[in-house]
């Protein structure tokens, strides 16, 4: 399997959950603060945020947009309560 350099860049963030909604949207959460730039957006958050990658294309030249899906801070979680798993459905 080829190595994905973009995903390798997430390693320091400690991805804790990746969820595919079968509609090709990918939901992610990290243990640490993050900042990411996609085709049309820049997002940032912390360990209690879920963000979504919405692909335009998948494959050798994967591209798409990132959006913040759920903000745990706004829902009352503090920085010591990072998300360690989630399910949507």
- Would 47 be classed as within a structural domain? yes
- Would 25 be classed as within a structural domain? yes
- Would 23 be classed as within a structural domain? yes
Using a pLDDT cut of 70, give the percent of the chain over it. 80
Q: Do 36 and 46 touch, CB atoms closer than 8 A?
A: no
- Would 76 be classed as within a structural domain? no
**Domain range for 51:** 5-71
- Would 87 be classed as within a structural domain? no
Structure tokens at 78: 């503090």
Confidence of residue 2 (pLDDT cuts 50, 70, 90): very low
- Would 14 be classed as within a structural domain? yes
- Would 37 be classed as within a structural domain? yes
Domain count, the chain: 1
State how far the Cα of 88 lies from the Cα of 50, in Å rounded to an integer: 11
Say if residue 82's pLDDT is above 80.
Answer: no
- Would 28 be classed as within a structural domain? yes
| Listed residue (67, 2, 1, 17) closest to 38, CA to CA | 67
For residues 43 and 40, which has the higher predicted lDDT (pLDDT)?
43
């Amino acid at each position: 399997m080829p190595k994905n350099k973009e995903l390798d860049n997430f390693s320091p963030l400690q991805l804790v959950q990746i969820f595919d909604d079968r509609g090709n949207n990918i939901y992610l959460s990290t243990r640490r603060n993050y900042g990411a730039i996609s085709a049309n957006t820049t997002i940032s958050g912390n360990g209690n945020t879920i963000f979504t990658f919405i692909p335009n294309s998948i494959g050798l030249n994967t591209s798409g947009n990132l959006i913040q899906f759920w903000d745990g801070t706004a829902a009352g979680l503090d920085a010591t309560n990072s998300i360690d798993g989630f399910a949507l459905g």
